[in-house]
Structure 1
Amino acid sequence: MSADTRPADLREAGEPAFAGLAERHRRELHVHCYRMLGSFEDAEDTVQETFLRAWRRRETFAGRSTFRAWLYRIATNACLDLLAKCRPEPATGGEVPWLQPYPDRLLDELPAGGEDEPEAAAVARETIELAYLVAVQHLAPRPRAVLILRDVLGWPAKDVAELLGDSVNSVNSALQRARAGMREHLPAERQDWTGGEEDAGTRAVVRRYTEASVAVDIDGIAELLRDDVRCSMPPTPGLFTGRDAVVRDWLDGGFADLKGLRAVPTAVNRQPALAFYLRQEDGVYRPLTIDVLRITGGAITEIVTFEADRFPRLGLPERLAA
């Protein structure tokens, strides 16, 4: 079956043919659910629920939209249902305990935009960065859906209104509220985000951060931090803002006492990241943490640290030989 699937084709399709058509859209649907939910694992579960609902409701596909758009409608509603059940309240205070990273190696599976769509490519990149994910998780579920459908996917207001069972005026009002909410939580220097290919300055900062971290050179790391740097470690509670507060937290957490660190560079959410391994008594290096960096103007403006359980999802080795 082609992307121009007719309702009759879908109704007559067997489960294998239907699954094959749906699978073509798995990655983009997963990213859409990830933006809505902020959790890689919740997004996986929701995509599976989307495919199940689509199969069961295939008779309802009337062909007024593309099969892809129909799947997006189902996925959005599945996300809203999950949020209503498990997370009725949005994030508060700048923290998102359920935040999980998204590996770039999987983002590379997304359909490439044309060379004549640089703006669309920039939007796709910026709206997957952790700062965007954190900000969007502070919105109530329905305004969040409106923002993502309108500003990220570019859906017309009337289509969003139809999906949500609202009027166009209600959708436009929700979009304005959502944009205002995003401005409260997005970095002030959003136009200076790392987005795009890393430049030499960014790579130099990452290299210096790697060297200082492996050497447990806290002063060296501190030199790379902007005065208003933010640091968090989901799902552990706590958001530390400012160089002094961040360094104090590291010292209180025993970072200065670590011995035998190694770092493996990686990339998540279109941002540079470092996977740290700690040498154990048997000489083997095992997963410790992953630091995801946001770098602006040659300084580190945010560090989000994830725990060792994220290593398998990111395709990182479970151990490094001595």
Structure 2
Amino acid sequence: MSQDTLDLARAGDPEAFGALTAPYSRELHLHCYRMLGSLADAEDMLQETLLAAWRGLAGFEGRSSLRAWLYSIATRRCLNALRGAGRRVPRAPVPPFEPPEPSRRGHVTWLQPYPDTLLDQVADTVPGPEARYRSREAVELAFIAALQRLPPRQTAVLVLRDVLGYSTVEVAEMLGTTGTAVKGALQRARAACAERGGSPSPAPPRERPGSVRESDLTRRFAEAFAADDVDAVVALLTDDAWLAMPPAAHEYHGAAAITSFLEAGAAWRAGRRFHLVPVRANTQPAFGCYLPDDSGLVAHPVGLIVLTLGQDRIQAVTRFLDDGLPVRFGLPERIPLPDRTR
């Protein structure tokens, strides 16, 4: 950041302001996603952050880095959103068939996946010395969901300290609080995340994306799922696997519960088969999910599936019931199908 560019931006030059903030916009978007768990909300908060920075740039005195100042603004905006009554919580979908009784009902119904194509655009900045794990690892769905169950201040402290690596003093200044309060919030947040299985560290080394083992497992899942071969799908799952469907609150845990749900869905579709298009989300294998319309000639998007992989089987299947997600992941709006009547 040059002083000349800063002076021009303070004088109201939009191009200079863009030059100042552009290097950080993608990582700020990811930060807002971690805080809010929603791709749509993260986009809104990024715009609010940049607007607030534009309006408040005259007050930036340079005591911290521009990056830290922007993170401070983004964090406070996200905290306001988390505490506010106007948070965008999606309406629970009405199932087209009578689903079996769920194992439990989840509370994080606003959770959305994050495209790996956006992760690839985040500058590979080295986290500060206080970070406990690499920032890209801290975007897995289990971690993001665990963050959403924390009180807002604990979420902010955990992300700023353990993901981004800011010091206790820096976080206290960002949040307008004391170092003692930051340490207490961090201790409680770490304990809560560990209890809920949301801490990505320590963890065994993960398979390299696109490895032979990962590719084989995801291919077998896609083939079985698209064929409504419920037994084959369940055989690929760990004994304690679970299936969730945000924004629906229904969750199914264990082979029997998952089998019951998948069979009910297959019976309702009456022979219409899913078409899965591979993509990646939250550093994990994923699929855009398409279903043929009544004509059988076109398949339309009906959500997105993200797999959480264990060592040799699938630990979780998260089926996001948002028809607009595949397009946001760069997938087609429709898939033409062959006319089988000819």
Q: TM-score, normalised by structure 2?
A: 0.85
> Does structure 1 residue 245 correspond to structure 2 residue 245?
no
| Residue type at the aligned position of 2:260 | R
Deviations 1:173-223 (A, max 9, x none): 110000001011126996147465343222111010011112111111010
Deviation track 1:11-50 (CA, whole Å, cap 9, x = no partner) reads 2351232133222211100000000000001011011111
Matched pairs, number: 317
Q: 2:320 — aligned with what?
A: 306
Letter in 2 for 1:63: G
Taking the TM superposition and a 5 Å limit, the aligned residue runs for 1:1-322 are 2=1, 8=7, 10-86=9-85, 94-113=106-125, 123-186=134-197, 191-192=203-204, 194=206, 196-254=208-266, 257-282=270-295, 283-307=297-321, 308-322=323-337
Describe the SS at the equivalent of 1:285. strand
Matched AA of 1:159? E
Amino acid in structure 2 at the alignment position of 1:175: L
Instruction: Summarize deviations over 1:47-74 as a string: whole Å, max 9, x none.
Output: 1111111111111100111111111110
Secondary structure of the residue aligned to 1:236 is coil
Shift of 1:272: 0.1
- Cα deviation for residue 9 of structure 1 reads 5.0
In the alignment, structure 2 segments of 5+ residues that lack a partner are 88-103, 338-342
TM superposition shift of 1:121? 11
Percent identity (aligned): 40
Aligned-residue CA RMSD (Å)? 2.7
Amino acid at match of 1:309: G
Alpha-carbon offset, residue 122 of structure 1: 5.9
Whether the 8 Å contact between 1:290 and 1:306 is mirrored in structure 2 is: yes
Which residues of structure 1 form unaligned runs of 5+? none
Q: 1:177 to 1:5 in 2, by over 3 A?
A: farther
Shift of 1:254: 3.8
The AA in structure 2 aligned to 1:266 is V
SS of the equivalent of 2:335 reads: coil
Given that 1:271 and 1:293 are in contact with CA atoms closer than 8 Å, whether structure 2 keeps it comes out as yes
Residues 265, 273 of structure 1: 8 Å contact kept: yes
